[in-house]
A = this chain, B = another copy of it.
Amino acid sequence: MKDVAAHAGVGLKTVSRVVNGEPGVTPDTERRVQESIESLGFRRNDSARVLRKGRTASVGLVLEDLADPFYGPLSRAVEEVARAHGALLINGSSAEDPGREQELALALCARRVDGLIVIPAGDDHRYLEPEIRAGVATVFVDRPAGRIEADAVLSDSFGGARAGTAHLLAHGHRRIAFIGDQPRIHTAAERLRGYRAAMEDAGARIDDSWVSLGSTAPERVRGALAAMLDAAEPVTAVLAGNNRVTVTVVRHLAARDRPVALVGFDDIELADLLGITVIAQDAAALGRTAAERLFRRLDGVREAPARVTLETRLIPRGSGELAPAD
């Protein structure tokens, strides 16, 4: 308050009046005090919340890909919680580019969001430390923060992939492919780890040619899958590492004669009608849990950063229950 008074060139009592919404301050002085408060970054603690009353509260959500349907229910759940707290939700997408993620997160902070929910593209979030210290409540979702301590709400990617692979093994498969996203992405790495663990549990050998991580662009996935299916000893089953991969695998398998078993990570729309077995995440629960955690912090609850892991669920619909073609 002293700094604010000095910066605005007014007395401490005037700042106190503005903070507490008391009369006796001219509009011009009030604006000057508000501007000083904002310049000095006193905007996240309790008195700042009072100061900013009249301005709509807002939270920012940094997504990874606007066009990925997985983020639709997640975003909507965040929005519903924000709305219940009278706050606006502002989104942006990193397009899976760490530089873009940083630019966007800081741009949202500069626009004075009260809190941030981040689906990280990068793996080093030290750039957020000054903002977090300044009071921007921050929760990571879907993937954890890198190199900082922060709340994270995740799906059990490891356990889900392990269960999906075990399901294929239980149906008699041994030559099982794993096609996933870029290995630097936490969920992709965890799902690969789950696949390996299940294979190891079953004493099944993993041929290097059965594992393909990289872009989820259809051409890349199609090429990787075709190579595994056209090999001398073709894979008889596929664990698809995410919904984008699943869609391409389903299309490609539909054009082949030999049946190949498939378990996809993430549920997709109409998968029920197509009989696609999936490991479903609850995208809405991820968003809701992260948002509730964020608002608890905004409400002043002080807790150490924690990691919350939500269970996945295997939904058998036919494609994962096919026996090996040979």
On A, residues with C-beta under 8 Å from B are: 31, 35, 39, 55-56, 58, 65-69, 72-73, 75-76, 79, 83, 88-93, 95, 100, 103-104, 107-108, 110-112, 247, 250-251, 254, 268-270, 272-274
Contact = CB atoms under 8 A, between A and B. Distances in A.
Contacts of A79: 66, 93, 95
Nearest to A283: B67
Given A56-B103, A69-B72, A75-B66, A92 B91 contact: yes
A93 B76 contact: yes
Contact of A270 (B103, B108, B112, B274): B274
Contacts of A69: 69, 72, 269
A69 B269 CA distance: 10
Contact of A31 (B39, B73, B251): B39
B58 A107 contact: yes
Contacts of A104: 88
B76 A72 contact: no
A93 B88 CA distance: 9
Contacts of A272: 251
30 contacts: A55-B110, A56-B107, A58-B107, A65-B76, A66-B72, A66-B75, A66-B79, A67-B72, A67-B73, A67-B76, A68-B72, A69-B69, A69-B269, A72-B72, A75-B93, A76-B93, A79-B95, A83-B95, A83-B100, A88-B103, A89-B92, A90-B108, A90-B111, A91-B93, A111-B111, A247-B269, A250-B270, A268-B270, A270-B270, A273-B274
A178 to B, nearest CB: 22
A73 B39 CA distance: 38
A69 B90 CA distance: 18
A88 B107 contact: yes
A91 B104 CA distance: 12
Contacts of A75: 66-67, 93
Most B CB within 10 A of own CB, among A55, A72, A247: A72
A93 B79 CA distance: 8
Given A83-B95, A91-B91, A268-B269, 18 more contacts: A35-B35, A56-B103, A66-B91, A69-B69, A69-B269, A75-B93, A83-B100, A88-B103, A88-B104, A89-B92, A89-B93, A90-B91, A90-B92, A251-B270, A251-B272, A254-B273, A269-B269, A270-B270
A66 B83 CA distance: 14
B76 A66 contact: yes
Contacts of A273: 250-251, 254, 274
A67 B58 CA distance: 19
Please indicate which of the listed interface residues A58, A66, A269 has the most CB atoms of chain B within 10 Å of its own CB. Answer: A66
A291 to B, nearest CB: 13
A88 B111 CA distance: 12
